[in-house]
Chains A and B, each alone.
Chain A
Amino acid sequence: MNAVTIFLKDMLLFQRRLLRLGYVVSTLFAPLLYLGAFGLGLGKRVVIAGTSYLDFLLPGLVAMSSMTNSYTWVANSLNMGRLYYRTFQIYLQAPVAPWEIVTGQMLAGVVRGLFASSVILGLGLLLGSHLHLNGVFLLGLLMNGLVFAAFGVVVGLKSKSHEDTATFTNFFILPMAFFCGTFFPLEELPWWLQKLIYLLPLTHTNRLLRTPDWGMETFISMALLAAAGSLCVALSILIIRRYSE
């Protein structure tokens, strides 16, 4: 019940911000730039893994948009709400359980991630890209949003300043955007780096979105995403339980 209330409040705020053009442009600018520059520039001239570069790139950009938007919305809103606007404290002083706060925030992050990735997906399809939009694809996208929204909750709760959030973004989110197979196949990287990158969640979302078929690899990727999400949720609940100013 309280998770739904927290989610609804964030959705209302999201809806109001959506009406501001600058906000939408700044949110979608980076993935649209990549889609325009790489997708159209290299598009059909370059072939990667047997497909056109646009077909290769689009699932990666969809996953990346979902990741950055789910994460950023939650991390920033929690961080600003906790340190500057003090709206987060309302939840702590009301009869709301930690898991309800985490769930409400995560759901809001997922919606925002899905919104951004849907815009990229739509534009990519308009540009002539081909995708397998099936259950695995959608489930992978949903899980990706949940994982990074949960990571956003951890960062939003642990950051000591707004700059701290940017540091987490620069050291965790940005490297994942570039190295987890968004722009080029992992096989191009040294073997040891491939092993390391295999542990990162975006790698598995990219795999699920590029080859959305039911098989052992798919189950392993989903299990790893679920494990990463569960770890972040457990950590968030623990942080809220121990929260003290």
Chain B
Amino acid sequence: MIVISDLTKYYGKTQALEGLSLEIGPGEIFGLLGPNGAGKTTCIKILTTLAFPSRGGARIAGFDVVQERAKLKPLMGVCPQEINLDRELTAYENLWFYGRLFQTPDLSRRIMDLLEWAQLADRAHDRVKGYSGGMQRRLLIARALISRPRVLFLDEPTVGLDPQIRRQLWDMIRQLQAEGITLMLTTHYIEEAEMLCDRVGILNKGHLIALDTPGALTARVGGYVVESVNGFRRRYQLVPDKDAAYAQARQEASEVVIRRANLEDVFIQLTGERLSP
């Protein structure tokens, strides 16, 4: 559904994205994971026609993201990182104007269906400026779905939301996958990538440093982690299984924590840095 080849973007001399190549299949939830400034949003901007690549390109549903923008736009929905709703308008009005831009048939019905889905139907005619962060996020996703897109881009969809609302949004995203929509999301939340994504690409400083299923990526670095805490110092050791973890723990003089390896450990192993500061 999405084919990215050698995608590169420079801002002046600053390299935001370098030679990204990957393919995303239909109906897949693909996550781009990486710290701030890794190039995730730049990638989404190019794919959603907001930026031109410096080199390389991408095709979505067979259409080139630079040359065939007009054909591509009706097929995709975009949920940006920032909440770019019109705050002075109501939820209904926001969807109405957006739906008209996509020439959505039977628009009023579609709006009410989406507001029901986003659990906002009872607040349909309230101005968005009175909504909570979670409600605004749900409306943003509903807006991206108005044209019944085949591909949905979600840039940091749960950033700044509390865990309960985050889980609610994850359920919504899974529901969209069940309806056959291909989803590409960016995140710097480990749990989000692990819980939601069929496959994950890890970006660091514009480079794709790993690409696989979350399970395969964590298995690659070892199944378990032994964390030893000594004052303010924290040491991580990756071990292949539970027995090895116990054996390692017995050798430690300080307090230890044994846990399953996660994508953060993969990132540390690959870069020597933590994913989230």
Residues on A lying within 8 angstroms of B by beta carbon are 1-2, 5, 8-9, 12-13, 16-17, 85-87, 89-97, 243-245
B71 to chain A, nearest CB (A): 9
Alpha-carbon distance between A2 and B99 when the two chains are bound, in angstroms: 11
Contacts A13-B86, A13-B89 given; does A90 touch B51 at CB 8 Å: no
Chain A to chain B contacts (Cβ below 8 Å), 5 pairs:
A9-B86, A85-B84, A87-B85, A90-B84, A92-B49
Q: Which residues of B contact A16 (CB under 8 A)?
A: 88
Alpha-carbon distance between A13 and B50 when the two chains are bound, in angstroms: 25
- For residue B236, CB closer than 8 A to chain A, the reply is no
* Binding-face segment, B74-82, B160-168, B175-183, B220-228: B74-82
Alpha-carbon distance between A91 and B87 when the two chains are bound, in angstroms: 16
- For residue B45, CB closer than 8 A to chain A, the reply is yes
Q: Are A95 and B84 in contact (CB under 8 A)?
A: no
Q: Are A93 and B49 in contact (CB under 8 A)?
A: yes
- For residue B246, CB closer than 8 A to chain A, the reply is no
Alpha-carbon distance between A67 and B252 when the two chains are bound, in angstroms: 76
Contacts A9-B97, A86-B84, A87-B84 given; does A95 touch B70 at CB 8 Å: yes
Q: Are B88 and A13 in contact (CB under 8 A)?
A: yes
Q: Are A96 and B84 in contact (CB under 8 A)?
A: no
B101 to chain A, nearest CB (A): 4
Q: Are B80 and A89 in contact (CB under 8 A)?
A: yes
Alpha-carbon distance between A183 and B271 when the two chains are bound, in angstroms: 68
Contact count A vs B, C-beta below 8 Å: 61
Q: Are A2 and B101 in contact (CB under 8 A)?
A: yes
- For residue B136, CB closer than 8 A to chain A, the reply is no
Residues facing A in B69-118 (CB within 8 A) are 70, 73-74, 76, 78, 80, 82, 84-89, 93, 97-98, 100-103
- For residue B52, CB closer than 8 A to chain A, the reply is yes
- For residue B158, CB closer than 8 A to chain A, the reply is no
Cβ 8 A contact of B98, one of A86, A94, A245: A94
A94 to chain B, nearest CB (A): 4
Residues facing A in B146-179 (CB within 8 A) are none
Q: Are B73 and A245 in contact (CB under 8 A)?
A: no
Q: Are A12 and B93 in contact (CB under 8 A)?
A: yes
Alpha-carbon distance between A13 and B85 when the two chains are bound, in angstroms: 13
Alpha-carbon distance between A13 and B84 when the two chains are bound, in angstroms: 15
Alpha-carbon distance between A5 and B89 when the two chains are bound, in angstroms: 14
Known: A1-B103, A9-B86, A92-B49. 17 other contacts (CB 8 A): A2-B101, A9-B89, A12-B89, A12-B93, A16-B88, A86-B80, A86-B84, A89-B84, A91-B101, A93-B49, A93-B78, A94-B101, A94-B102, A95-B70, A244-B52, A245-B45, A245-B50
Q: Are B100 and A5 in contact (CB under 8 A)?
A: yes
- For residue B48, CB closer than 8 A to chain A, the reply is yes
Interface-centre pick from B78, B87, B100 (highest chain A CB count, 10 A): B100
Alpha-carbon distance between A244 and B88 when the two chains are bound, in angstroms: 27
Alpha-carbon distance between A1 and B97 when the two chains are bound, in angstroms: 11
Q: Are A89 and B50 in contact (CB under 8 A)?
A: yes
Alpha-carbon distance between A17 and B100 when the two chains are bound, in angstroms: 23
B129 to chain A, nearest CB (A): 11
Q: Are A96 and B101 in contact (CB under 8 A)?
A: yes
B12 to chain A, nearest CB (A): 13
Residue of A nearest to B89 (CB): A12
Q: Which residues of A contact B74 (CB under 8 A)?
A: 95
Cβ 8 A contact of A90, one of B52, B93, B98: B98
Q: Which residues of B contact A94 (CB under 8 A)?
A: 73, 98, 101-102
Q: Which residues of A contact B70 (CB under 8 A)?
A: 95, 97
Residue of A nearest to B144 (CB): A93
Contacts A5-B101, A12-B93 given; does A92 touch B50 at CB 8 Å: yes
B108 to chain A, nearest CB (A): 15
